[in-house]
Structure 1
Amino acid sequence: MISIKALLAKPFSKYIYNSVQKWANNPVETQENVFQNLISEAASTEFGKDHNFQNIKTFEDFVKHVPVRDYEDLKPYVLKVVAGEENILWKGKPLYFAKTSGTTSGAKYIPITKESMPTHIEAARNAILLYINETGNSSFVDGKMIFLQGSPILEKKNGVNLGRLSGIVAHFVPKYLQKNRLPSWETNCIEDWETKVDAIVEETLPEDMTIISGIPSWVQMYFEKLQEKTGKPVGDIFKNFNLFIFGGVNFEPYRAKFEKLIGRKVDSIELYPASEGFFAYQDKQGEKGMLLQLNSGIFYEFIKADTFFEENPKRLTIKDVELDVNYVMIISTTAGLWAYNIGDTVAFTSLKPYRVIVTGRIKHFISAFGEHVIGKEVEHAMKEATEDTAIRISEFTVAPQISPESGLPFHEWFVEFENEPEDLAELINRLDQSLQNQNSYYYDLIIGKVLQPLKITLIKKDGFQDYMKSIGKLGGQNKIPRLSNDRKIADTLYALKVTK
């Protein structure tokens, strides 16, 4: 018998769907309103005064007065906010700092304000409601839901709460979901990730789990521990588990492994959250790409990735973007980030409405020889090379080998297989062909005998987990870069390779 909660979810989901359609069908006007509101609200801040916000009327004015910045460039302002000063990047003081580990900056402190905080919660809620509206399936709201996330314990920094984004969000779970939500507060506060996952297994095994959510690599670890403990597929342990919600990385390299661990297919919803804002979520099951959140206090700019490092690359608004072009995404937000480069690259899969996929990181690419291979290309190559085979991948990353002991340079793929291919040479050939087909620069380098075809280095079972543990980044929101232009990760992984 359907519950009151499941029954009420359907009309509410219809209401939310209709409200989303209003702004999604008026994208340019919606973004213009967001832009004007941001400028007027921040005109009297220190940043607004320094950048002449009073005289900014158009996007062209904004481009003249506000350069694109990354965290390092914005840091002088952020440090004032962290020191407790008011009205620096946004009105008053932020509610929180989301602490993230930057690759070049050490710890980053990303402000979250009373205006920006609700948009994180609403986007996650709306993703589920649009799924209910599309599928008619609301029965899962009666079961238990798990969100694998960081510790909700917060510190204080000059009167402002500080923690991981996922830990901050844990404080905002709606009351009507509190009874359904796992793990318990006590378990969620465990800092050591392996100990935490073991505790989550014990807590969830007797429960009727219907939604499981988290970064795929860490949900995989949870699933494997469930299977080790019971000897059963996850889908048999949790008979009513029918919705997997994920974000942070491309799911495709994990899909085959997950279907085996679960033992059946389940619906999934992809999210695109970050400390800087909740940018997009999957709004339709059959669509490739996630609906860009144009009405969430975020003004978007886009710079073509292949022009990004030029002197003055052209900055585009939503009305000027094209399909299937790799863009660096630049944001200005109600948290006081201005023309801010979050480091992600995206491509549009639809312009009516605007949907994006994350293609990688502007700093995560391989161009040691001018090939500019990006994350999306290596992930697609792996998917293409292993589909219709029994090969399953646990994890992988790619790095250039510029000075091999003999022969030409090559791209080195570090791969942890769940089950190794019978014919490794055939897999290598398929991977290399896929990469050549996608990237003409790479093709030219192979044909021109500048590079030799890629090579695979086998990593032992749980090797990537051991690597993440060794650098203090096991669990939470941490993930392995799909590729890098140096050998920092590669050289460490050598100690974890399979020796035969």
Structure 2
Amino acid sequence: MSLKTLGAKVFAKRIRKKINKWASNPIKTQEQVFADLIEKAKNTSFGKDHNFQNIKTYSDFTQNVPIRDYEELKSYVDRVVAGENDVLWPGKPLYFAKTSGTTSGAKYIPLTKDSMPTHIRAARNAILCYIEETKKANFVDGKMIFLQGSPEMSEKNGILLGRLSGIVAHYVPKYLQKNRMPSWETNCIEDWEQKVDAIVEETAHQNMTVISGIPPWVQMYFEKLQQKTNKTIGELFKGFELFIYGGVNFEPYKATFEKLIGRKVAGIELYPASEGFFAFQDSQNEKGMLLQLDSGMFYEFVKADEFFEENPKRLTIGEVEIGVNYVMLVSTNAGLWAYNIGDTVLFTNTSPYRVIVSGRIKHFISAFGEHVIGKEVDQAIKDGIEATGIMINDFTVAPQVNPDQDELPYHEWFIEFLETPEDTEKLALEIENSLRKQNSYYNDLIEGKVLRTLKITPVPKDGFKDYMKSVGKLGGQNKLPRLSNDRNIVDVLTTIIDK
């Protein structure tokens, strides 16, 4: 056992004890976070505008601070971007994480000297929890790769600006620097396809033990490795032990990954975002990810089916229930307040509090009142794959409200297969049955002959990659939306398919 391996095990045991301490006192932990946030921000412009000086209780907070998304907070963010001090949080941010907005164009999410360390600690602690639980740590001696955006940054009024994954690349601990791949030069390549090709060249003959990234982009890396070497990933990287992922539900990719790797590999799911590192999988034996309650973030939850009401009821951590779909709000030490990050979550456990991401509050299909959500389509495709053995690369779903001739409307599933089957009818039936079992509204529409059964439209190989490239979102942290309430995505995709 190397000194690094021994050190990792000792450190992991110590960190796990610290995590258990706050995880076993969730309400007290969140109350302390809340008090600290209000006290530190009371003299900011936002704090003065929202009466922080007189906020003593959570009830005071809900009366003074409304729910906001980025567009509604933008007037404050614009002042921070312009270089003004003490607007949302004391001083100025260290960075802006630049992401793609929907109605506001580019979004600038602040990262402060208080919030930045929480991103780094959470990523580190996810690995340490795995080590403490499994007692496996030999992988720390091998090479590790994190498929991420370019670490190069620009500057805006004295504040560094970049992608979150690129910013985080600057914080890789010194003891991992020699193990990290790819090289800095390769990591700075902007064109994603060129970057992956360069990563393949650099890593094909290395002892890769940890691989991390968003599943569809890691799959692209694995496929290129296989094309180059004619080996499975497991044969090529005999020491490959740990796959770390986030951003999308891994289940639809699982069968394809196992085929590409050639064996099972342990996984750790993460829930990072520019707004905060919210949760990570702390156990290989429990469902869900441990919500980070001590990381400078105060959480609120609104039932998803009540969210668009005029004054939806806001809940704290002690009021949530297992299995209910919630919109998650955060107030953070980066200066976000009652902020709707757009995700919906389900609690799988409340002792400790663990969550799964169930979808996006704006990503659903309800063209006919069915309100199908991301969790449901992910489960349906998983059930379909397990029942048929058909493997896929990716998929997205959209309603067809105006079908040809006298046909009833339907949900159209655009699926890129690993190998396109001759007949997709069995898969369609399995997906349909799963969806009907999960969603009673959808089932009623099928039984009432308002909708016909779903239709599968095969997408040619690399079709989704070509789509993401056409909209400037290939690689990095970008993800293909699982479902939409319109046909904006699939209309573009159809033009690619028809070429």
- Do the two structures share a fold, i.e. TM-score over 0.5? yes
What CA distance in whole angstroms lies between the structure 2 residues aligned with 1:205 and 1:428? 38
**Residue of structure 2 in register with 1:410 after alignment:** 410
**Residue of structure 2 in register with 1:192 after alignment:** 191
What CA distance in whole angstroms lies between the structure 2 residues aligned with 1:104 and 1:112? 22
**Residue of structure 1 in register with 2:52 after alignment:** 53
| Cα RMSD for the two superposed structures | 0.9
Shift of 1:390: 2.6
**Residue of structure 1 in register with 2:487 after alignment:** 487
**Residue of structure 2 in register with 1:80 after alignment:** 79
Secondary structure of the corresponding residue to residue 196 of structure 2: helix
**Match of 2:290, as an amino acid?**
L
Sequence identity (%): 71
What CA distance in whole angstroms lies between the structure 2 residues aligned with 1:27 and 1:216? 31
Shift of 1:388: 4.4
Q: Is the 8 A contact 1:458 1:498 kept in 2?
A: no
What CA distance in whole angstroms lies between the structure 2 residues aligned with 1:311 and 1:8? 53
Query: Residues 89-117 of structure 1: CA distance to partner in whole angstroms, max 9, x if unpaired?
Result: 00000000000011222100000000000
Q: Is the 8 A contact 2:387 2:430 kept in 1?
A: no
Q: Is the 8 A contact 1:459 1:498 kept in 2?
A: no
Q: Is the 8 A contact 2:42 2:53 kept in 1?
A: yes
Query: Residues 446-494 of structure 1: CA distance to partner in whole angstroms, max 9, x if unpaired?
Result: 1111111110111101100011111111101001000000100111111
**Match of 2:36, as an amino acid?**
N
| 1:397 matches 2:407 | no
Shift of 1:422: 4.5
What CA distance in whole angstroms lies between the structure 1 residues aligned with 2:436 and 2:103? 31
Q: 1:454 to 1:103 in 2, by over 3 A?
A: same
**Residue of structure 2 in register with 1:203 after alignment:** 202
Q: Is the 8 A contact 1:457 1:497 kept in 2?
A: no
**Match of 2:384, as an amino acid?**
A
What CA distance in whole angstroms lies between the structure 2 residues aligned with 1:149 and 1:419? 28
Secondary structure of the corresponding residue to residue 68 of structure 1: coil
Query: Residues 8-66 of structure 1: CA distance to partner in whole angstroms, max 9, x if unpaired?
Result: 11111000000000000000000000000000000000000000001100110000000
Task: Trace 1:78-477 onto structure 2 (pairs within 5 A).
Answer: 78-406=77-405, 407-477=407-477
Shift of 1:191: 0.1
**Match of 1:438, as an amino acid?**
Q
What CA distance in whole angstroms lies between the structure 2 residues aligned with 1:38 and 1:307? 27
**Match of 1:454, as an amino acid?**
L
What CA distance in whole angstroms lies between the structure 2 residues aligned with 1:121 and 1:64? 33
**Match of 2:382, as an amino acid?**
K
**Match of 1:455, as an amino acid?**
K
Which ranges of 4 or more aligned residues in structure 1 deviate by more than 6 Å? none
Corresponding residue pairs, total? 498
Secondary structure of the corresponding residue to residue 479 of structure 1: coil
Secondary structure of the corresponding residue to residue 343 of structure 2: strand
**Match of 2:344, as an amino acid?**
T
Shift of 1:288: 1.1
What CA distance in whole angstroms lies between the structure 1 residues aligned with 2:351 and 2:202? 44
Q: Is the 8 A contact 1:247 1:272 kept in 2?
A: yes
What CA distance in whole angstroms lies between the structure 2 residues aligned with 1:307 and 1:135? 41
Query: Residues 201-254 of structure 1: CA distance to partner in whole angstroms, max 9, x if unpaired?
Result: 000012100000000000000000000001100110100001000010000000
Q: Is the 8 A contact 1:329 1:343 kept in 2?
A: yes
**Match of 1:494, as an amino acid?**
T
Shift of 1:364: 0.3
Q: Is the 8 A contact 1:410 1:451 kept in 2?
A: yes
User: Normalized against structure 1, the TM-score is what?
Assistant: 0.99
Q: Is the 8 A contact 2:398 2:413 kept in 1?
A: yes
Q: Is the 8 A contact 2:343 2:359 kept in 1?
A: yes
Q: Is the 8 A contact 1:111 1:336 kept in 2?
A: yes
**Match of 1:160, as an amino acid?**
I
**Match of 2:227, as an amino acid?**
E
Structure 2 residues without counterparts, runs of 5 or longer: none
Secondary structure of the corresponding residue to residue 387 of structure 1: helix
Secondary structure of the corresponding residue to residue 419 of structure 1: coil
Q: Is the 8 A contact 1:460 1:498 kept in 2?
A: no
Q: Is the 8 A contact 2:388 2:426 kept in 1?
A: no
Shift of 1:389: 3.1
Secondary structure of the corresponding residue to residue 343 of structure 1: strand
Secondary structure of the corresponding residue to residue 125 of structure 2: helix
Shift of 1:164: 0.1
What CA distance in whole angstroms lies between the structure 1 residues aligned with 2:73 and 2:102? 16
Secondary structure of the corresponding residue to residue 312 of structure 2: coil
What CA distance in whole angstroms lies between the structure 2 residues aligned with 1:171 and 1:386? 39
Q: Is the 8 A contact 2:388 2:427 kept in 1?
A: no
